[in-house]
Structure 1
Amino acid sequence: MKNSKNMRLKLARVEKELSQDELARLVGVSRQTIGLIESGNYNPSLSLCVAICRCLSKTLNDLFWEEQADQ
């Protein structure tokens, strides 16, 4: 699995005018966890992904599922 930054998450968070700390408090994790997810250094649980999506009014597809590359 490649380690890539989650820019879609960061952009959605910024669009909602939330800091990493504010989003972290809303979903019940540390600011560091949000930073690690955005930097691609942490693989969040499905329940955390869902909580983040709810806070940002996005779907799992919007934020977490990678597009399938043509093979």
Structure 2
Amino acid sequence: MSTAAYFNNLKLKKLYCQPNAFNPSPNKTLEKAGFRFVKEYITTPGSITFEQAVKLWEINEAII
């Protein structure tokens, strides 16, 4: 799994992902990959984009 490479090679403790809340595919995939749902919130991802709902997911190195 590529998450193990991030933890091992970069010595990370956590990984975060924030896909659009209304896009079911990445949200299902993150859950199946072992990520834990943290919260859903509204954000503006960049200066030229619009507000959108995102879901915050995290995975700890201990889970791998």
- TM-score bracket, normalised by the shorter chain, equals under 0.3
- Per residue, is there more helix in 1 or in 2? 1
Query: Larger Cα Rg: Structure 1 or Structure 2?
Result: 2
Quick one: higher RCO (CA 8 Å, sep 6+), 1 or 2? 2
TM-score calculated relative to the size of structure 1: 0.25
- Per residue, is there more strand in 1 or in 2? 2
TM-score calculated relative to the size of structure 2: 0.27
